[in-house]
Amino acid sequence: MSRIPLMAGNWKMNLDHLEATATVQRLHWALQDANFDFNAVEVAVLPPFTDLRSVQTLVDADKMSIVYGGQDVSINPAGAYTGEISARMLVKLGCKYVVVGHSERRQFHGETDKLIGGKAMAAVLSGITPIVCVGEALAIRKRGEHVAYTLAQIDAVFGEMAQDLAPRAVIAYEPIWAIGTGEVATPADAQEVCGAIRERLASLYGRQAAWQMRILYGGSVKASNVASIMAEADVDGGLVGGASLDPAEFAKICRFAEHIA
Ligand code: 13P
C-alpha cells in the first residue's frame, strides 16, 4: 500500500474570511477544470482560525473534496487560556489537520519540542492529524549538522506522544533557510533528511508504521520545482506557504504528477 501524497497550503496570517471563500472556490474550480483526481492526491488548506467557519460552510455546501485544518492548537482541552483554540473546537469546524511546531511559532512564540509534542498529542486524542514541523536553520546546515539536528527534534517531539498514537502524525521537513526565501532545497537535500526521518520513525515505531507515515517537504515549493522534489522516494507531499495563496499556482502544485520534470 503506497502513501497518498498530501499537498497542504499553509496560508499563515493571510486572507480574511471573504478572501478565504473566494480562494477555496477558485482552487476547487481550477482542479475540477483539470479533471483532478482527489483520490490520488489529498488537497488541504490551512487558513487562519477566523476563516475556518466560512471555509467549512463552503466545502460542505458544495461537497468539495478539499480538506482543511488549523495552523496551531492549544495543548489544553479547555479553560482559562486567553487567545487559545482547543482541538475540540477545530474538530467542531470539521478540521482534518492542524500544524504544530511551525518554525515561525518556534521562533516568535518560543515554542519548545516538549510543548509541540503535547500539542500533537492533544490533536490526535481529538481525532485531528497533526502536521509536525521540523527543520534546521542555515547556520546548522552550514556546519553539516542538519540531519542530526532534525532527528533530535523528531526524538524530542515524538517522545511526548503515546507510542500507539504517534504514527498517526504527518511530519513536515521545512529547512528554515528555504522558507519564504525563494531558495528551495534540492531534491537530494530534501530526500537526505526525509529519508533519515523515516529511518528514525522505523526505529521508533517499526518499519511498517514508518512506511505508512507521510513526510512532507516545505520551503519555497512552487509549480516549477514541485515535480522533482516529489519524485524523491521519501517525500510524500508539500507544505506550501506563499504559493498556496494563489489558487491557480496551488492547483498546479497539486497536479505535480502531470508535470514530472
Ligand atoms: P514558503 O512556501 O512561502 O516558503 O513557506 C513554507 C512554509 O513555511 C509552509 O509552512
pLDDT of 261 over the 50 cut: no
* Alpha-carbon distance values, 9 to 53, 77, 106, 155, 217 (Å): 17, 26, 19, 26, 12
Q: How far, CA to CA in Å, does 253 sit from each of 2, 55, 86, 92, 214? A: 20, 20, 31, 29, 17
For residue 111, indicate whether it is catalytic.
no
Ligand 1 pocket check: which of 6, 10, 72, 249 to mutate, most ligand atoms within 8 Å of Cβ? 10
Average predicted confidence (pLDDT) for the chain: 96
Tens digit of pLDDT for each residue in 145-176? 999 999 999 999 999 999 999 999 999 999 99
> Which residues have CB under 6 Å of ligand 1?
10, 102, 174, 179-180, 218-221, 239-243
What's 38-50 look like in SS3? CCCCEEEEECCHH
CA separation for the pair 253, 154 (Å, rounded): 27
Give tens-digit pLDDT for 22-58: 999 999 999 999 999 999 999 999 999 999 999 999 9
Beta strands in the chain (DSSP E): 6-10, 42-46, 67-70, 97-100, 129-134, 170-173, 215-218, 237-240
User: Which residue CA neighbors atom 5 of ligand 1 most closely?
Assistant: 241
Is residue 174 among the annotated active site residues? yes
Q: What is the pLDDT of residues 171-225, one digit of tens each?
A: 999 999 999 888 888 999 999 999 999 999 999 999 999 999 999 999 999 999 9
CA nearest neighbour of 238 among 6, 39, 2: 6
Q: Measured from the CA of 99, which atom of ligand 1 is nearest? A: 10
110 is written with which cell numbers?
A: 518560543
Cell numbers representing residue 48 in the block: 487562519
Q: Is the pTM above the cut of 0.95?
A: yes
Sign of the dihedral through C-alpha 218, 50, 62, 128: positive
Gap from CA of 79 to ligand 1 centroid (Å): 32
Among 104, 136, 174, 232, the active-site one is 174
